[in-house]
Amino acid sequence: MPYLIRGNNIDEDAVENTFYPDFPMAKKRPFLNNQPVSQAQKDEIPRTLLVEPPTITHSLDPLPELLGWDNGLNIVYPPMKDLIEKLEPGVHEFIPLEVRSRDGSASFGTYYLVLITQMVDALVYDETDFGGVYGLEAARKNRFSISSFSRPVLRTDAARGYHLWRGADGLVAHYFCSDEIGRFIKDNNLRGWSLDACVMHRSQLH
């Protein structure tokens, strides 16, 4: 059973993060939109990530194992990187990041920014809730925002064999993972992402 990966929804796990030096939106956008990028563009990604709690009542100790960035690119700790590479060798690219607290008081070692470029057209629009309405046109009108109050529906034949991917077309900002990755997150009580279980549909793509 695959999962839709959503951002952190637990207040205690909230972390604010920024790249150092700054990585402006004009340079981020091609990665967020899954546009073709050159090696030179990848080399411009800063290799330091500064983190801080959102309020004084929060703590960075311990730092969640999974982080998000601008609702798109995902940052993972080394064991998750190892699992992804084992499941899909050579498919994804990983950019090492040195993670430090913004005030310089703590270092959290190396995490990895995952460049997920693999897209899969698996969502069944007519059975997926986009804010109380269904279908491709409804999705467009609602900016492809999948409701968090229902379960996304995926075609079994399209999702089979994939472990980490983006949705296709308007769903490019939505990330999905396989049951293997979902189990790893749950079995190890990893923090930082929330997972919405998908419903599997056996229909074929026409």
Give the structural domain span for 79. 11-115
**Res 1 pLDDT > 70:** yes
Tokens, residue 171:
């769903």
Domain boundary among 61, 89, 115: 115
DSSP 34: T
Neighbours of 169 (CB within 10 A): 12
Nearest by Cα to 154 from 197, 110, 194: 197
Does a structural domain hold residue 183? yes
Are 99 and 108 spatial neighbours (Cβ–Cβ below 8 Å)?
yes
Are residues 67 and 16 located together in one domain of the fold?
yes
Are residues 70 and 145 located together in one domain of the fold?
no
Matching residue, tokens 């563009």: 41
Are residues 143 and 108 located together in one domain of the fold?
no
Domain boundary among 115, 140, 161: 115
Are residues 166 and 189 located together in one domain of the fold?
yes
Are residues 125 and 151 located together in one domain of the fold?
yes
Neighbours of 153 (CB within 10 A): 20
205 confidence band (pLDDT: 50, 70, 90): very low
105 confidence band (pLDDT: 50, 70, 90): confident
If one counts the domains in the chain, the total is: 2
Domain boundary among 76, 92, 115: 115
Are residues 137 and 188 located together in one domain of the fold?
yes
Contacts of 44 (CB under 8 A, 6+ apart): 23, 27
pLDDT score recorded for residue 57: 56
Does a structural domain hold residue 72? yes
pLDDT score recorded for residue 107: 93
Q: Provide φ and ψ at 190, rounded to 5°.
A: -70, 145
Does a structural domain hold residue 82? yes
How many CA atoms are closer than 13 Å to the CA of 64, on its beta-carbon side? 27
Contacts of 14 (CB under 8 A, 6+ apart): 8, 53, 54, 58
Does a structural domain hold residue 165? yes
Tokens, residue 47:
């290799």
